[in-house]
Structure 1
């Protein structure tokens, strides 16, 4: 069994990261500075709940842009799987690959979870908002997919 995951809180500094993205680029926390961002961690591209969450974010992407937010999704998928996900679902925001799970662990989004009655280690569906200075303004672990957009709309006053 692994150690207890990190639990971040509002007001904490967002952990730094540097990850490869769909389309061949990279995304870093430093690059996101200067504007707010929403970072969401999800278990796997092209699975039912993750696709629903990704498409909800796609369908509401303009709301985030209008408020100045950049949206970044992070999963343990390899970049090739993210490229397919972006193409198949027409996703307009950045998807990043964290195959090593280091960024997910730094955010507390990797660890033990109950999956169909079994304890497994994996991605804990989580969402964070970061202000322009890199401070966390929203921390939500175990995000419910159907309520994800409403949570963001209400909490971030979008």
Structure 2
């Protein structure tokens, strides 16, 4: 697993997403976008993060930025989550964790003394050239969408 740093080529992906969509790096070519990884649909932190991105969507859209959320969840819980909170941006299903592994966010975690593999809450800002412009790892949900928006503005 390689570390994805700012300036490196964004790994290619294609995943099923909410609303019967498919998201792929191929269709996003030449367009900047935000790819954020979250642990689980409809959990408190993930809901707060998704709603913050939804709220920032008009501003991000105005700047020409697409937002894609990615989790290991199957499509059914993802669709329910998107519907419940009126999330209009695509939420993608990375059931195989291939994309998460490519981005280095499928990591060993521990809770109550047990170690397990899980999704690290991380966000990647990809520029028009398909390069990683910014990386946020171990994201704290509070104020994160705002940080991303500021970084997007700086991208120009």
Q: Please indicate the TM-score interval, normalised by the length of the shorter structure.
A: over 0.9
Residue 63 in 1 paired to residue 59 in 2? Answer: yes
Match of 1:21 among 17, 23, 27: 17
SS at match of 1:71: strand
Residue 75 in 1 paired to residue 71 in 2? Answer: yes
Give the TM-score, by structure 1 length.
0.92
**Between 24-33 and 64-73, the greater mean CA deviation after superposition:** 24-33
SS at match of 1:30: coil
Partner of 2:144: 148
Deviations 1:43-70 (A, max 9, x none): 1100000000000111111111011100
Give the TM-score, by structure 2 length.
0.93
RMSD: 1.4
Matched length: 154
Residue 9 in 1 paired to residue 5 in 2? Answer: yes
SS at match of 2:145: helix
Distance in 1 (CA, whole Å) between partners of 2:2 and 2:38 is 17
Distance in 2 (CA, whole Å) between partners of 1:107 and 1:116 is 26
Gaps of 5+ in 2: none
Label 1:25 to 1:154 Cα distance change in 2 as closer, same or farther (>3 A): closer
Partner of 2:50: 54
Gaps of 5+ in 1: none
